[in-house]
Amino acid sequence: MSANLVALWYLAASVCFILALKGLSSPESARRGNVFGIAGMTIAVVTTLAIVARGRLDLILIAMVIGGMIGSFVSRRVEMTQMPELVAAMHSLVGMAAVLIAVAVVNNPGAFGEHDPLPRVNRFELFIGSFVGAVTFSGSVIAFGKLAGLGKKFRLFSSAPVVFRGQHPLNLVLALVMIGFGFAFFLAEGKAWTPFLAMLGIAFVLGVLIIIPIGGADMPVVISMLNSYSGWAAAGIGFSLNNTMLIIAGSLVGSSGAILSYIMCKAMNRSFFSVILGGFGAAEGATAADAAQKTVKSGSAEDAAFLLSNAESVVIVPGYGLAVARAQHAVKEMAQKLIAKGVSVRYAIHPVAGRMPGHMNVLLAEAEVPYDQVFEMEDINSEFGTTDVVLVLGANDVVNPLAHEKGSPIYGMPIIEANKARTVLVNKRSMAAGYAGLDNPLFYMDKTMMVFGDAKKVVEDMVKAID
Amino acid sequence: MTGTIDPTVVNLVVFVLAVFVGYHVIWNVTPALHTPLMSVTNAISSVIIVGAILAAGPAEVDFGSAMGAVAVGLAAINVAGGFLVTKRMLAMFKKKPRVEKAAEKK
């Protein structure tokens, strides 16, 4: 195949990838979008296989079949609550693949149609692609460990921020040393393995150090950020291989992750840098202490069911606690019963409900909640004034009215305005504070009734009580 | 101005334009589909598999092509896993005839 023909096929694949992302603008077009994505990938792979047709196709095909089998096995088995872990693991694979390709380029530039020894410009690009890949890999491994709850076995994976003295200066020094080795690699003659490998080693360590100080509550930002990194790593490799398709695909993914990070930071009212520097939740712990004196009204699931079935409009605010208790199906059953009685039921989703962007939507979709009943925070917030009953299930910080009070640590964070409804029902396991470590005035309001207990148990009791 | 354009400059042009396209396309993605967006972008960034195939390509197997073959395997996990799990998630967002479906189950 001529180089021009290859470039044109790669162009077709790039267009397919853009269409795949464009499809995600609505659930109806999204499935077609995914088909475009698969088509683009097929074009890209087949074209590349044609280039290396005279080489070791057997080796490549065996690797592809093994990888493909593992991938499809995992994709069938993974639980929807485990999506954040899966995505983190997949980011680490992209990062590692980028590193391995970079090693192969240094070893034999000729295989990629590059000059041997590698020209300076390509070395610079290779440096960027490989260190971003290495940081993505080790950072994602740590993120995976934190999300999968491996913190009990290894302190490195603790979901509480791991901080130590001199952490930031250490990171800075390591980053500078890494850039130094990168520079040496750029200037050296021949293959220059030493500076290249030293640079990679430091990048792996940096990836670990960047992610360990970030606490569990900030995981949605971390995943989005690593998503972005994996894209930039792919783009960097694309630069060094002069492959426009890789650059395009990498940039699409890179900007996607960056935008998601921005959305998540905004939803948590955190600046990107404060997330990166870590340590959230450690300092504010003291404020929850004075909660004990105030009294809350608590009621049974039956009382709650009575209120719900006599309401005209109900809004359900699900939080991650709901997913942990696996109560989605029970909630959906309850909603169906209420709808059958003529109650209008809607769901209000905060952008950070769940552990990754859009997680709660997927969990509700899995429970077969029709997506036209599910509303984003900004679309439904204006309607709480006319809502009879709000049912908060396993959410806390995202409905905390302190966000409207100046001087509170979460001041300015966008919240679901559950406090404006006529009656508020809150299900929680106990009065413990949320991720932010803050007390929640919503729980003490006159119109609020707390229903303590496991979300699944409570909702199932409600379902039984509604008739 | 004479001479040919350096490929790096062409790459830079493509890169900047692609970031713009990405920016505009991603802001149009509905927040409800942000998780599928992440899994599909994962699959798309695994197009890095083309680099891995080139690395594993040479007829003579050496250290570099072994690295390439491993990279092909890793990227293939992502390609298959990413697209399939996205497909699985998107299938859940299908509009369903609610009442009839519930009746069928019982």
Q: Report the pLDDT value the prediction gives residue A434, as an integer from 0 to 100.
A: 67
pLDDT at A411: 80
- B103 to chain A, any CB pair closer than 8 A? The answer is no
pLDDT digits (tens, 9 = 90+) for A12-21: 999 999 999 9
Report whether A48 contacts B53 (CB < 8 A): yes
First-to-final CA distance of chain B: 77
CB B79 within 8 A of CB A71: yes
Which pLDDT band holds residue B96 (cuts at 50, 70, 90)? low
Mean pLDDT lowest for which of A420-424, A437-441, B17-21? A437-441
Nearest CB to B31 within list A55, A101, A351: A351
What is the three-class DSSP state of A450? strand
Phi, psi of A314 (to 5 degrees): -130, 135
* Whether pLDDT at A163 is above 80: no
Say what the pLDDT of residue A289 is: 45
Residue A278 is predicted with a pLDDT of: 59
Q: What is the pLDDT of residue A133?
A: 95
Most confident of A34-43, A396-405, A447-456: A34-43
Kindly indicate the confidence band of residue A149, based on its pLDDT and cuts at 50, 70 and 90. Answer: confident
B8 interface with A at CB cutoff 8 Å: yes
> Which one of A49, A67, A230 has the shortest CB-CB distance to B73?
A67
Which pair of tokens denotes residue A73? 């096995």
pLDDT for A95: 95
B88 touches chain A (CB under 8 A): yes
Task: Report pLDDT digits (tens) over A52-93.
Answer: 888 888 889 999 999 999 999 999 999 888 899 999 999 999
Q: Could you give the C-alpha distances from A33 to A38, B85, B96, in angstroms and in order?
A: 9, 14, 20
Give the nearest chain B residue to A70 (CA atoms).
Answer: B77
With a CB cutoff of 8 Å and minimum separation 6, the contacts of A276 are: A210, A214, A225
CB-based contact (8 Å) between A150 and chain B?
A: no
Contact list, B32 vs chain A (CB under 8 Å): 27, 349, 358, 361, 371, 374, 376
Q: Which of B47, B61, B99 to mutate to test the interface with A (most CBs of A within 10 A)?
A: B47
Rounded mean pLDDT of chain A? 86
The pLDDT value recorded for residue B105 is 41
Of A157-166, A236-245, B45-54, where does mean pLDDT reach its minimum? A157-166
Residues of B in contact with A36 (CB under 8 A): none
- Judged against a pLDDT cut of 50, whether residue A464 lies above it is answered with yes
Tell which residue, A90, A220, A20, A41, has the closest CA to residue B37. Answer: A20
Q: Which of A275-279, A384-388, B69-73 is most confident?
A: B69-73
Across the interface, of B18, B42, B65, the residue whose CB is closest to A251 is: B18
Q: Which residues of A are catalytic?
A: 397
Whole-angstrom distance, CA of residue A465 vs CA of residue A361: 27
CB A32 within 8 A of CB B85: no
Average pLDDT over residues B77-96: 90
Q: For residue A349, what pLDDT is reported?
A: 92
Q: What is the mean pLDDT of residues B9-20?
A: 94
Residue B97 has pLDDT above 70, yes or no: no
pLDDT at A180: 92
Residue A139 has pLDDT above 90, yes or no: yes
Q: What percent of chain A stands above pLDDT 90?
A: 40
Give me the mean pLDDT over the A433-454 stretch.
81
Higher pLDDT, A438 or A56: A56
Distance CA A368, CA A349 (A): 16
> What average pLDDT does the segment B77-91 reach?
95
Residue A234 has, within 13 A of its CA and on its CB side, a CA count of 33
Residues in chain A closer than 8 A to B65 (CB atoms): 56, 59, 104, 108, 111
For residues A178 and A202, the answer to whether their CB atoms sit within 8 Å is yes
Q: Which of A83, A108, A244 sits opposite B64 (nearest CB)?
A: A108
Q: Is the pLDDT at A282 greater than 50, yes or no?
A: no
- At A300, the amino acid letter reads S
**CA distance linking residue A38 with residue A349, whole number of Å:** 30
Task: Say how far apart CA A268 and CA A415 lie, in whole Å.
Answer: 9
A298 DSSP assignment: B
For residue A155, name the pLDDT band (cuts at 50, 70, 90). Answer: confident
**Dihedral through CA A390, CA A395, CA A398, CA A402, nearest 10?**
80
Chain B CA closest to residue A337: B99
- Report the range out of A38-42, A179-183, A333-337 with the highest average pLDDT: A38-42
CB atoms within 10 A of CB A86: 25
Q: Which residues are paired to A428 by β-bridges?
A: A452
CA distance B39 to chain A (A): 6
B104 compared with B36, residue with greater pLDDT:
B36
Bin A192: left if φ > 0, else alpha if -120 < ψ < 50, else beta: left
Query: Looking at residue A435, what is its pLDDT?
Result: 65
The answer to whether A11 contacts chain B (CB < 8 Å) is no
Q: How far is CA B1 from the centre of its chain?
A: 39
Q: How far is B2 from chain A (nearest CA, A)?
A: 21
Measured distance CA(A235)–CA(A350) in Å, rounded: 32
Q: Residue B29: its chain A contacts at CB < 8 A?
A: 21, 24-25
Beta bridge partners of B85: none
Q: Do A24 and B43 touch (CB under 8 A)?
A: no
Question: Stretch A157-186: mean pLDDT, rounded?
Answer: 85
Residues 6+ away with beta carbon under 8 Å from A94: A133, A136, A230, A233, A234, B42, B45, B46, B48, B75, B78
Q: Name the token pair of A267.
A: 């939803």
User: Looking at residues A361-384, what average pLDDT do you find?
Assistant: 89
The token pair at B41 is 């972008």
The pLDDT value given to residue A347: 93
Interface of A with B in 96-125 (CB under 8 A): 96-98, 100-101, 103-105, 107-108, 111-112, 121, 125
C-beta atoms of B67 and A107 within 8 A: yes
Between A240-249, B57-66, B78-87, the lowest mean confidence (pLDDT) is in B57-66
Q: Which residues of A50-65 are buried (b: 16+ CB within 10 A; e: fewer)?
A: ebbeebbeebbeebbe
Instruction: Compute the count of residue pairs across chains A and B with CB atoms less than 8 Å apart.
Output: 383
Taking only the tens place, the pLDDT of each residue in A180-215 is 998 888 888 777 888 999 999 999 999 999 888 887
Whether chain B has a CB inside 8 Å of the CB on A365: the answer is yes
3-state secondary structure A42-79: HHHHHHHHHHCCCCCHHHHHHHHHHHHHHHHHHHHHCC
For chain A, counts of helices (H) and of strands (E): 16, 6
- The answer to whether residues A36 and A19 touch, using CB atoms and an 8 Å cutoff, is yes
Query: Which distant-in-sequence residues (6+ apart) come within 8 Å of A357 by Cβ?
Result: A220, A223, A224, A260, A263, A264, A351, B31, B34, B35, B37, B38
Tell if the CB–CB gap between A44 and B47 is shorter than 8 Å: yes
Q: What is the pLDDT of residues A80-138, one digit of tens each?
A: 888 999 999 999 999 999 999 999 998 888 878 777 778 888 888 899 999 999 999 99
- Write the pLDDT tens digit of every residue in B33-68: 999 999 999 999 999 999 999 998 888 888 888 999
- What angle in degrees, to the nearest 10, is found between the helix axes of A359-366 and A328-340? 70
How confident is the model at residue A277, as a pLDDT? 66
Taken as a whole, chain B contains a residue count of 106
Residue A367: CB partners within 8 Å, gap ≥ 6?
A: A328, A329, A331, A332
Kindly list the residues from chain B whose CB atom is less than 8 angstroms away from the CB atom of residue A60: 53, 56-57, 69, 72
